[in-house]
Amino acid sequence: MWLLERLLPRLIRKGRLTVVAPDGKARTFGDGDPQWPCLTLRLHDGKVAGEIVRDPRLGLGEAYMDGRITIEGGDILDFVTFIRANRPWESGDYGLKRKGALSGIAGDMIGRINRLNQRARSKANVAHHYDLSDRLYDLFLDADRQYSCAYWTDPANSLEQAQTDKKAHIAAKLHLSPGQKVLDIGCGWGGMALYLNRMCDVDVLGITLSQEQLKIARERAQAAGVAERVRFELIDYRDVQGRFDRIVSVGMFEHVGPAHYREFFRCCHNLLTTDGVMLLHTIGRVGKPGTTDAWTRKYIFPGGYSPSLSEVVAASERNKLMLTDVEVLRLHYAHTLRQWYMRVQARQAEIEALYDARFFRMWSFYLAGATAAFESGGMVNFQLQYARNRHTLPITRDYMVQAEKHLRDLA
């Protein structure tokens, strides 16, 4: 416990956190500012304090999943966002330095090995997360099952509206014309592909490595009567054949792995026509390259990694793809994740019936941690537009605004 007592004054400056040890002894941290939360962390196991000190996110996450800690005065989202907000990325001292610590060095090495994401592991890594029960995703996603950052033209909008606006925002950047061929890399449950076909009169090939997503995407295309124009295949992006006028990839690049970035962009370059355009939407980090934390690697996204902008650009520029537009969505995913978290909390009984209470706590911790990372940490979303030919797109961004307004008016 004494190690945790040395750690917490470095973490908690504003507000108040009371930590209650298993023997009932309590220690309070923070300045008690009434504008900030006042929370209590109760430890039910003598090992928890040491586990948190050794690896704060892994130790806290596993203890919360196992019910060996409880939060009073709020829930896990309140707690995690409170901790993060005390050391925001903008402060310049975000994160605890562990220079020379063997645990820190070992963690970084394991993280870098894990994010290699070799081809043989890619399908298993995808299945770990995306082949969960269909019912689970129905309980917290919008009806179109958009499992990526929404676009909030107004934070007061509904999740459904924000996800529809996200599709319009991306479609506008693709600068589509009727009859064009589009490749959707990482198509999910087919929502983006079906939207592009319906709203822009294009033919789409969606590819995924998830059996469950493939099944539902095909069923949706069949039900919409567009299966001949919107096709879905279980295939790795490296094995796709043909040429496409446009490529869109939303929420898939996080699973590629830095070792494969150059290969990814080489494949995209070769799949695009000479006048082709690509839109890449990915979670990213605003700082330098890093590693995925141990808890997320272990329980949520094995092989997953969110890149820095420098890593993405360094890989794409080697493959003769011209970066034509960059947008950083700073808070849009934070709004999205809070909506997902609230929906998960409202469906606790149903999620526990699908799995169990430990899974519910795991999923809650995942969404809470992600929310905090986008609100106060170093995570953002990048939307990167690429072209093979500098003359393909209009020379100002006005066309994006006009196309987006047209699509939103049609929706």
pLDDT of amino acid 110: 52
Strands of the sheet containing 244-250, edge to edge, are 230-234, 203-208, 181-185, 244-250, 272-285, 379-387, 322-329
**Cβ(171)–Cβ(403) below 8 Å:** yes
pLDDT of amino acid 394: 97
pLDDT at 304 over 90: yes
Q: Residues 19-44: pLDDT tens digits?
A: 999 999 999 999 999 999 999 999 99
Q: How many CB atoms lie within 10 A of CB 280?
A: 23
2-87 CATH, one of 2.40.128, 3.30.1050, 3.40.190, 2.30.30: 3.30.1050
Residue 60, token pair as written in the block: 């806290």
Average pLDDT, the chain: 92
Long-range contacts of 217-221 (CB under 8 A, 24+ apart): 217/187, 217/188, 217/189, 217/190, 217/193, 218/190, 220/189, 220/190, 220/194, 221/190, 221/193, 221/194
Long-range contacts of 112-117 (CB under 8 A, 24+ apart): 112/291, 114/292, 114/297, 114/302, 114/303, 115/257, 115/258, 115/259, 115/291, 115/292, 115/303, 115/304, 115/305, 116/257, 116/259, 116/303, 117/255, 117/256, 117/257, 117/259, 117/260, 117/303, 117/305
**pLDDT (average), residues 112-118:** 56
CA 291 to CA 113: how far, in whole Å?
A: 10
pTM: 0.92
Q: Would you kindly state where each structural domain of the chain is located, as residue ranges?
A: 2-87, 114-410
Q: Residues 199-245: pLDDT tens digits?
A: 999 999 999 999 999 999 999 999 999 999 999 999 999 999 999 99
Q: Residues 128-166: pLDDT tens digits?
A: 776 688 899 999 999 999 999 999 999 999 999 999 999
- Report the SS3 class of residue 236: coil
What band does 256 get if pLDDT is binned at 50, 70 and 90? very high
**Cβ(323)–Cβ(386) below 8 Å:** yes
Min mean pLDDT across 88-97, 204-213, 332-341, 396-405 is at: 88-97
pLDDT of amino acid 116: 58
At the fourth CATH level, the homologous superfamily of domain 114-410 is: Vaccinia Virus protein VP39 (3.40.50.150)
